[in-house]
Amino acid sequence: CDPDHSNFSSGLFEWTRLRLVWGTGLLSVTGILLAILAQVGCCRPKPGRYWPHLLRRSLQQVLLRGAICYTIYLCVPWVLLEMQNLSWGTRGILPDISHGHGAEWVQFYCWRYVTHSVATTPTCVDYETSNDQPWYFHGENSLYMNATWVAKQKIGSPTGVDPCGATGYTTPMFLAINGIVLAAGLVGLLFGLSLLRWYLTVAGPLWSAFFVAQVAQWQIFGPLTGQALIAPGLLRFTETDSSWVFHLCIFGAVLTLPVYDMLIKLMHSYYRRSLQLAYFCDGEDIDFTATAECPYCPHLLLGACVNDFRTPQEEKLLCDFTLSPLYLGCPRTGFFCTDSGMRLGYAMSVSAAAPDTFMLTKFDVLPIRFVLSVFSLRLGDFVRLEPDGKVAIKVGRTVRRLEEAAVHSSTGGHAEQHGQTAQYLAQRMLDRAIVALPFIGCHLLLVLGKQLGNAGDCFSYGVVLQIGLSGFVVVLVLSFFAFAPQMRWLMRSPLILQFQMMFMHRHQAARPPPYVYLSDGGLIECLGVLMLLRRRMPLILCSDACEDMSLTLRALRDTIELAREERLCSFFDMHDPRRDVHLAMEEWRKGHSSYLRLGIRYERLPGEEEPLEGELLYIRMRLAPGDAALERPILEKQELLQDAETPRGSAFSEQASPATASRPQWGPDSRPFLDETMGDSLEAPSSSPHSGYRRDMDGVCCEGSCCGLRRCGRKFPDFGTGNQFLQPKHFANLCFLGAEMSLPAVRHAAAKMREAR
């Protein structure tokens, strides 16, 4: 509203300069002190005395995150001002660019607001912090109350059409720039450029900031211009509309705080439901702990990964985590009894949340974490380690009895399952509701400050508002010091857990927090063999379906290396223990055996006379050289009830010994059958894209050609993990291949078990 420079704010300039000087000085002094402490080494972690190191680390984390937030805090007002200027305030932007009518309408809006405020009562937002008078009584702004100047400048009668606060330039320009960058990124893929990846990295925070800026513009400039919130003409600013939007947002925030954990894992819930429909009868989940008591269910061990917690003496970030019906945990966190309310589908979804682990390790930057946390795109979850307290259990049991009684009176079916679910949800909500009280109190202070401002008590308005806003900052800052027992309760808040994930704060303490974030453990060890080696199992049957189109056997090699690092065991060739195991693996991958036999020699434990030995049966998803099996139709129930058979045309042999690499051979009984049915088309099976061979099946079009083109992309069975939309025919062929490859290994395992008896 500067009368001479309509697109400039001298008050905002002074506000920024003052805070820039004091904020930069404070942050610089704190940073220098922390750097001196780090160089001196007085806060290095020492066994049994970790709190100096954790204190210095937490201060450093607060300093870095605080510098980022403070920079955003100083830049946001200028960004909002420039966005508003770009929309309608600067000369040359509005339609009447030749006459500069934009500045005239800005002055008219400001004069109209000042005139109305003087005639009535100024609002509390019109008062500056350092003055007891409204902003339009100071400096050049006082000209708006000078009738002579207003008449001379014709402020009350601007030329042109009233834009009515229209902001119709920012949004089209924002969309146009995003469209251009997106198109350039797509074109760059053809030349191997990474522009698209970087755009997608910052797109989430950028779009979020844009929508927040739109709301902020409406709230800040709306009293002057009466501009619309969503679109031109839709929800124009009035004090009444601003008040109900504010109270509606506060009410929604307070109402959702106790159940905030459910809202921020919508993608996880969808993923979990998809797994339930795929693997459980009628999509009904089952109790995870109850599987330990079922004689027909194996003892399930699900591997996961701890992402954002480590102890002070550890430098390695990721750590494998085990979920079982009896206990869950790892050496880093310790082991805890599995919650009786945990469901198997939930444990499976956490254990299979591969995108989270991949993003948090390969692309662990602030924009990626912002997208995962704010947009609820994470598939993993914060799993509770410690059991609930006595009060929570008592409340949960009461809710369970009420739910079972209600189900019995209405339908009478599944009462126990509904009761368990109600008890679990009640205990989780109670656990999270207590830690939500500070945030609820801060929200209520904002509402009280708003009411005091409407009543005209501007001093109380400023004090209460600052206390409410400072309360949010204090609670979030204290969460960085949750290594202290007095602050550990803050780590039960899903809002704080989401905030720390977004700001890349990896919790470090001698004792694990109540909740740890778990995702897929496949990036550490994706075969699940390491958990069995730690338990010194005598016979291990392993299947490998990792993406390994070149058959490097990288997953098995990683497992062997990890077992060596932990000094668990050594692997050897079952046929010649003197031979290097890697040579046996290299020979097997070129042969026709469906599985690989490796011997295991466990390290001797104290008290053992002789080291234990075991056997690993390794099955890798692949086709043997010379495979000529045909595509099969979808699976039928009657077929699943029959014994598995090796299909005609399969090139796998029944022998487990490594086969000598040779020219491709046809499977048993395949050549006569194919000669009768296909004739001469069999002569060049490797080069012919005949639709009958399963080796030629692609991952896009199962039947015939695709859009007039011949089959393209990766072939069966290596479709690639990026293809998440396999058809039933794909599944049938993959399932049949798995049965075909595992049948000899299962027979061998059964024979070994009979010998052991």
For 419-445, the pLDDT digits (tens) are 877 887 888 788 888 888 899 999 999
Query: What share of the chain has pLDDT > 90, as a percent?
Result: 19
Domain-embedded: residue 305: yes
- Cβ-based burial of 687 (10 A; exposed 0-12, middle 13-18, buried ≥19): exposed
Sign of CA dihedral 590, 592, 595, 600: negative
Quote the pLDDT of residue 707: 43
- Residue 571 pairs with which residues in a beta bridge? 600
The reply to whether 518 and 534 lie within a common domain is: no
Quote the pLDDT of residue 282: 84
User: How many independent structural domains does the chain possess?
Assistant: 4
The reply to whether 179 and 208 lie within a common domain is: yes
Q: How sure is the predictor about 102, in pLDDT bands with cuts at 50, 70 and 90?
A: low
Quote the pLDDT of residue 116: 85
Neighbour-count burial for 650-669, b at 16+ CB within 10 Å, e otherwise: bbbbeebebbeeeeebbbee
Q: Are strands 596-602 and 327-330 parallel, antiparallel or unpaired?
A: unpaired
The one-letter amino acid code at 740 reads: E
Quote the pLDDT of residue 93: 43
Last residue of a domain, one of 470, 490, 523: 523
Task: Inform me whether the pLDDT recorded for 644 exceeds 90.
Answer: no
Least confident of 49-58, 230-239, 704-713: 704-713
Domain-embedded: residue 414: yes
Among residues 178, 264, 251, the alpha carbon closest in space to that of 502 is found at: 264
Rounded Cα distance between 599 and 657, Å, is 13
The reply to whether 381 and 429 lie within a common domain is: yes
The one-letter amino acid code at 129 reads: T
Domain-embedded: residue 30: yes
Distances (CA, A) of 287 to 291, 305, 347, 350, 426: 7, 22, 10, 15, 17
Domain-embedded: residue 240: no
The reply to whether 106 and 209 lie within a common domain is: yes
Residue 582: which residues within 8 A CB-CB, separation 6 or more?
A: 557
**Angle formed by the axes of helices 344-351 and 266-279, nearest 10°:** 110
Domain-embedded: residue 234: no
The reply to whether 533 and 514 lie within a common domain is: no
Domain containing 420: what range? 260-523
The reply to whether 224 and 320 lie within a common domain is: no
Instruction: Return the structure tokens found at 4.
Output: 């001479």
The mean predicted confidence, pLDDT, of the chain is 81
Q: How sure is the predictor about 699, in pLDDT bands with cuts at 50, 70 and 90?
A: confident
Q: What are the pLDDT digits (tens) for 255-311? A: 888 778 888 888 888 889 988 888 888 888 888 998 998 888 889 999 999 988 989
- Arithmetic mean of pLDDT, 321-339: 92
Last residue of a domain, one of 523, 538, 573: 523
Q: How sure is the predictor about 696, in pLDDT bands with cuts at 50, 70 and 90?
A: confident
Last residue of a domain, one of 464, 495, 523: 523
Count of residues making up the chain = 757
The reply to whether 468 and 548 lie within a common domain is: no
Rounded Cα distance between 525 and 557, Å, is 10
Instruction: Indicate the pTM of the whole model.
Output: 0.79
Domain-embedded: residue 329: yes
Q: What are the pLDDT digits (tens) for 390-421? A: 888 888 888 888 888 887 776 656 677 778 77
Domain-embedded: residue 587: yes
